Each structure stands twice: as structure tokens, then as C-alpha cells.
Amino acid sequence: MNSIINNARIVLVGTTHPGNIGAAARAMKTMSQDNLYLVNPKEFPSAVATARAAGADDILANASIHDDLKSAISDCELVITTSARTRSIPWPMVSPRECAEKVAKSNGGNVAIVFGRENSGLSNEEMELGNLVLQIPTNADYSSLNLASAVQIICYELFLKRNANEGVVKEDKVPLVSQEKIEMFYEHLEECMIEIGYHDVNYPRRLMHRMRRLFNRAQLDESEWKILRGFLAKIQEKQK
């Protein structure tokens, strides 16, 4: 069994209806996914969620609950956010099948696939925490897709990819840095840009949004992260 595919975490943010949590758990279990993370759910635990889970009670019982998305993905090396609409700043896009490919090719670290609120999806700030954006193709005249159905589609693609990869020997790769370390880098980067007069916090023009998009797309490994942190520190030292 491909442990990378099997251990991808499904993250539901701000779910308003407990029935959708239960239905998502059921969708996960049918496809051999069992890592459910809930960020600030409106109602959980819930008898409605348990009823809709239809036997996937173990996934609900073991669900990891968090107050915000950052804490739910802080130890992840690859974060794929989902969106049904086009954003003002474009992000690298993947389809469900390409998503499964990316997860399968990850370096063995923690992977999160993040689904937003039923009525509004993920905020721009939450989207910035991801490396890639996943969109599920739908009928242009009726694009409404239930949360649990979206989870089912992605878990199905992961299931297919996991079975296809059984017995395949993975190459050793350098581990990517966690989201927690990436956030440390962004704080350091913004601090340095302000000190040298390149970034005016009162007139940002989305500069940090674009810097996040750049480095999220790059997916830094540990050595690259250390090089950049050292580079920023040397700039600050010279500035002083």
C-alpha cells in the first residue's frame, strides 16, 4: 500500500452542516482515507454527523480538531487548497487527477487537501497557505457541488493512484520544509524588505501575496530554506 497516498489528510474548514462532515467521512472510508481534520466546525460532535457517516464512526472519533487552518497544516510539506472560482491573483491549478499525481510524488511528508465552507469556500488568506489550487471541472450551467461529493471525487483519484503505485519503489528525496517554517520565512522576508525600504506596509500593492505565491509554488526544501534565511539575515546585518 502506498503510504503517502493513504496518509493524505482531508481538511474541512468552517463546515456549517454536521451532516456534511459525516458524509465526507463516509466518502473517505470507502476510498481508504482515514485522516480527517476539522477547522472550526460549527457543530461537532453531532448525532447528525454520526448518522450520515453510516459506519465511518471511527474516522469521526479520530478526527483532529483545530481552531484555525494554520495549526491544522503546520507540519505539512504540501498543501493543496480547493476553489470553485477564479481568484484575482492566479495560482498554479491542478485537476483531481493531477492532484493525486502531486500527492503520489510528494517526498513522504505530510500532505493536506483543504476544502472550504459550503457557502463561501476558503478566504484569500487561507488560500495563501497552499502550494497549489485544486478545481473540479463541472457543468458551467450548474457548477454547484456538494462538499462530500467533492471529497469523494478527490479520494477516488487518490485511491486509483495508490493502487496503481503499489509495489513501486520510491526514490529518496530531500524533505520539503513544513508550513510552520514557511510562515517563519515569510515573516523574516517581509521584515527584511521593510528594513531596506523595498516594501511599504502602507502601500503594499499585494507584494506579499505575490511573494507567497512565488515561494509556495517553488516548494522549498530544508537546505533552500536555510540558504534563504541566512541570505536575509546577511542583508539585515549589512543594512545595520
Quote the pLDDT of residue 173: 64
Domain with CATH 1.10.8.590 in the chain: 179-239
Q: Where are the strands (E) in the chain, listed by range?
A: 9-13, 35-39, 64-66, 76-82, 93-94, 110-115, 132-134
Quote the pLDDT of residue 203: 79
Kindly state the average pLDDT of the residues 46-52: 96
Distance, CA of 21 to CA of 17 (rounded, Å): 7
Quote the pLDDT of residue 168: 46
CATH T-level assignment (fold) for domain 3-164? Alpha/beta knot (3.40.1280)
pLDDT tens for each residue of 117-158: 999 899 989 999 999 999 999 998 887 889 999 999 999 999
Quote the pLDDT of residue 1: 40
CATH T-level assignment (fold) for domain 179-239? Helicase, Ruva Protein; domain 3 (1.10.8)
pLDDT tens for each residue of 79-118: 999 987 765 566 788 999 999 999 988 867 899 999 999 9
Length of the chain: 240
Domain with CATH 3.40.1280.10 in the chain: 3-164
Query: Strand pairing of 132-134 and 64-66?
Result: unpaired
Kindly state the average pLDDT of the residues 179-190: 92
Model pTM greater than 0.85? no
Quote the pLDDT of residue 88: 58
Please provide the DSSP assignment of 94-125 as one string: E-HHHHHHHHHTS-SSEEEEEE-BTTTB--HH
Please name the residue that has the C-alpha cell 524533505: 175
